[in-house]
Every structure is written in C-alpha cells, then in structure tokens.
C-alpha cells in the first residue's frame, strides 16, 4: 500500500495553508468593492497598461534573469534613493516570496525570529517550514507602539532575525528610526518590510550603507497599484544580496512584471497623485470613525485604518457583515493575529467615493 506519509517532507508537514478567500471573493463577485487586501482600488497608470500590451507578442521568450536585468534593478535602486546601486537589489514573486527567500538564505532549524504582534501573518506561518521558532513582541499601549527594549530584551544566542513591517500591517503604526537603530545594534539580521512605505514618512533605505545587517523589503502591490504582477524586491548590502540570490529561483520575475514595473517607475507622478489622495482620505476616514461614540481608529501611516469597536459594544464582525451586505469587503479578526476578541476591523482606503460610502454605512449602522 502506498504510504504517502513516508514521502512527505518535514517542511510540508509543518506547512500551513494561507487562505486567500478574500481574493477569491473579489474575483468571483462582480462589482464588489475590495477594501480588504490593501490593494489600490483603481487601475494602474495608462502608461503601464500600454507597456504591458506592447510586450504581449514577446511572451514566447523567457525573461531576462534579475541578476543581469540591470534596467529593472537600476530603476528599483533609483526609486528608493540609491541611484547606481543595482547590486543592492534582488527580486521576488511578490514580497510573499521574498519572506521565503530570506528564511531559506538565513534560517536554520532551531533559529529564532522575533516579530511584532500583530504583524503580517506570513512571517510566522512561513517560519514553520524552516523549523524556526517565532517570538512575538506585544505593543506597549492601545496605539500599538513599542519600545526598543521590547525587542532587544528577547535577543539571545539563537536569534537570527528581527522582522517588522513599517508601517505595520494590520494596525498602521510606524516604528521610529531610533527603534530600528537599536535593533540593528544587536547585530542580528533586521528586516524592515516597507510594503506601505510610500504612505508613511522617513524612508530608511539610505541606512543600508551604514548597517551591513539591514534588509529592506518593498513591493509593487500597494502604492504602485500592481498587486497582480507579483513583484517584490529587497534592498541590502551586496554580500547579503549574493546570499539571497543563491537560493532564488532563476527567472522568478516574469516578463509582464518586468515590463509593468519599469513603466510604473517611469510614471512616478501617477503613484504620487494616488498616494496624496489616499493620505487625505485616510484622514477623512479616521476623523469620521473618531466621531462615532465608542469607535477608536488607530493612527495609521498606511493605506488602511484599523478600528477598535470595544467601547461601543458593537462586534467588529457585525460591522464587517453589514458592509459586505452592501457590497464593501473589509477585514476583521476574531481572536486571531494577536488581536483579542471581536473588536477590530480594518478598511483599505479606496477611491474617495468608496471611502465616503463606507463611512456612511458605518455611521448608519452604529446609530441603530
Ligand atoms: C506587510 C506586508 N508585507 C508583505 C505583503 C505581501 O506583499 P506582496 O503582494 O508583495 O507579496 C503584504 C500584503 O498585504 C503586507 O501587508
């Protein structure tokens, strides 16, 4: 009798599926307003669309591998303020794949990884495949802020990496430059996931020159409005990049992603205009939530706002359901991701019209 169990690897046994039901619902429900995954809810720049169409008749060819793709790497280096530093860059099929690439490059069984809690689920889920232990650091206060010692006190001989998103997903807070310096001074690898950095302030990419243990992760999925192309990239000193390239699969950036990425960076005005509008609407949404008795929006440096419903006595899941019934998909958590109870929901800031519609639906629901 075939005994599958004998053949399944340790990694596969340790693996956990990451349900992407929200993406499925978005694709399968025409007209649904997808304000759950922190994507941009408008189409990419017309110049990106044009460039992708223009490459369609060349899709019979393999793309160039990122190692020789100077044009893309130079665009990326330039975008983060490191012009001419193509050798400080490598890419993944989304920053989801980057997490795996970093773990595969630097993590051995029994190593420890320190993450903030809450933070992006995949940091913890994927660590299981590499036999690492994840230590969570819990915030100091209701606005999800941290002190450097909250992290540094956990660093021990087995610690290999500290991994933090900045701004944080899901709460939107922004760890300070001083906190990052304190993490870097511990001399373990520090990975700062700047998936949402265009919506915040104080980019830290230039610190790469000073710190050989710093890795910064970026993505095309958020401010760039290109979640569908699956392209993420990291910035780090060339020695670290070389180590990551050794585990990276060849040609992992497809030709459509390569083309769209270059066109998007060449049209930075489009990105900047979207970001400026989202920041204004983020404030509008924050103020509207703060004005509803018992709701507490968490200050956010990102393209979403998380709201705590505790004092209103209203369940976050009831707000989520009400919005969904009206065609707006947002996120909520019940006792998961380090968020206790049924009191937190998160809204991706969409178009101005979508944001206003969600505000009005929540206001009406909470008045009942
Ligand atoms: C903090 C953070 N990192 C990474 C990702 C995944 O990004 P990508 O689409 O580049 O895989 C997300 C997506 O929501 C995120 O919130």
Query: What are the extents of the domains in the chain?
Result: 4-44+269-367, 46-267
38 pocket-lining for ligand 1 (C-beta < 6 Å): yes
**Under CATH, which number does the domain 4-44+269-367 receive?**
3.90.1150.10
Residue 165 alpha carbon, nearest atom of ligand 1: 1
95 pocket-lining for ligand 1 (C-beta < 6 Å): yes
Q: d(Cα 332, Cα 262) in Å, to the nearest integer?
A: 35
What's this model's pTM, rounded to 2 decimal places?
Answer: 0.96
| Domain pair 4-44+269-367 / 46-267, same fold | no
Q: Which single residue is written with the structure tokens 């596969």?
A: 12
- Between strands 89-92 and 214-219, the pairing is unpaired
Of 218, 221, 183, nearest in space to 38 by CA: 221
Which residue lies with its CA nearest to atom 7 of ligand 1?
Answer: 95
Q: d(Cα 79, Cα 137) in Å, to the nearest integer?
A: 31
193 pocket-lining for ligand 1 (C-beta < 6 Å): yes
303 pocket-lining for ligand 1 (C-beta < 6 Å): no
Question: Which pair of structure tokens corresponds to residue 233?
Answer: 């990239």
CATH topology for 46-267 is 3.40.640
In angstroms, the first-to-last Cα distance of the chain is: 61
- Can you tell me whether residue 263 is helix, strand or coil? helix
Q: d(Cα 104, Cα 5) in Å, to the nearest integer?
A: 24
Q: d(Cα 311, Cα 55) in Å, to the nearest integer?
A: 54
**Could you list the pLDDT tens digit for every one of the 368 residues in the chain?**
999 999 999 999 999 998 899 999 999 999 999 999 999 999 999 999 999 999 999 999 999 999 999 999 999 999 999 999 999 999 999 999 999 999 999 999 999 999 999 999 999 999 999 999 999 999 988 889 999 999 999 999 999 999 999 999 999 999 999 999 999 999 999 999 999 999 998 889 999 999 999 999 999 999 999 999 999 999 999 999 999 999 999 999 999 999 999 999 999 999 999 999 999 999 999 999 999 999 999 999 999 999 999 999 999 999 999 999 999 999 999 999 889 999 999 999 999 999 999 999 999 999 98
- Strand spans (E) along 238-366: 296-297, 304-308, 328-329, 331-333, 344-348
Q: Which single residue is written with the structure tokens 């290999």?
A: 160
197 pocket-lining for ligand 1 (C-beta < 6 Å): no
94 pocket-lining for ligand 1 (C-beta < 6 Å): yes
């Amino acid at each position: 009798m075939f005994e599958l169990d004998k053949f399944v690897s340790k990694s596969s046994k340790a693996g956990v599926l990451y349900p992407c039901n929200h993406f499925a619902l978005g694709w399968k429900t025409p007209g649904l307003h997808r304000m759950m995954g922190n994507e941009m809810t408008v189409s990419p720049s017309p110049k990106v669309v044009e460039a992708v169409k223009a490459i369609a008749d060349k899709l019979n060819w393999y793309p160039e591998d990122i190692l020789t793709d100077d044009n893309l790497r130079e665009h990326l280096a330039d975008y983060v303020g490191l012009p001419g530093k193509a050798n400080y860059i490598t890419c993944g099929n989304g920053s989801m794949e980057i997490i795996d690439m970093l773990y595969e490059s630097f993590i051995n069984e029994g190593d420890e990884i320190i993450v903030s809690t809450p933070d992006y689920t995949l940091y913890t889920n994927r660590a299981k495949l590499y036999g690492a232990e994840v230590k969570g650091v819990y915030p100091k206060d209701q606005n999800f802020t941290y002190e450097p010692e909250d992290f540094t006190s956990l660093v021990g001989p087995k610690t290999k990496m500290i991994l933090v998103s900045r701004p944080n997903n899901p709460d939107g807070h922004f760890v300070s430059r001083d906190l990052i310096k304190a993490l870097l001074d511990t001399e373990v690898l520090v990975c700062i996931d700047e998936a949402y950095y265009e919506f915040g302030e104080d980019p830290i990419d230039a610190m790469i020159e000073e710190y050989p243990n710093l890795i910064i992760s970026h993505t095309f999925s958020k401010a760039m409005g290109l979640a569908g192309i699956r392209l993420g990239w990291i910035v780090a000193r060339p020695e670290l990049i070389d180590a990551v390239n050794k585990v990276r699969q060849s040609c992992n950036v497809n030709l459509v992603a390569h083309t769209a990425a270059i066109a998007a960076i060449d049209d930075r005005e489009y990105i900047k205009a979207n970001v400026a509008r989202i920041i204004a609407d983020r404030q509008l949404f924050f103020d509207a939530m703060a004005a509803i008795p018992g709701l507490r929006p968490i200050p956010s440096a990102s393209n979403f706002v998380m709201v705590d419903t505790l004092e209103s006595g209203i369940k976050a899941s009831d707000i989520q359901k009400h919005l969904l019934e009206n065609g707006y998909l947002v996120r909520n958590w019940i006792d998961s991701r380090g968020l206790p109870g049924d009191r937190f929901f998160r809204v991706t800031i969409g178009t101005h019209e979508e944001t206003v519609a969600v505000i009005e639906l929540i206001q009406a629901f909470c008045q009942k």
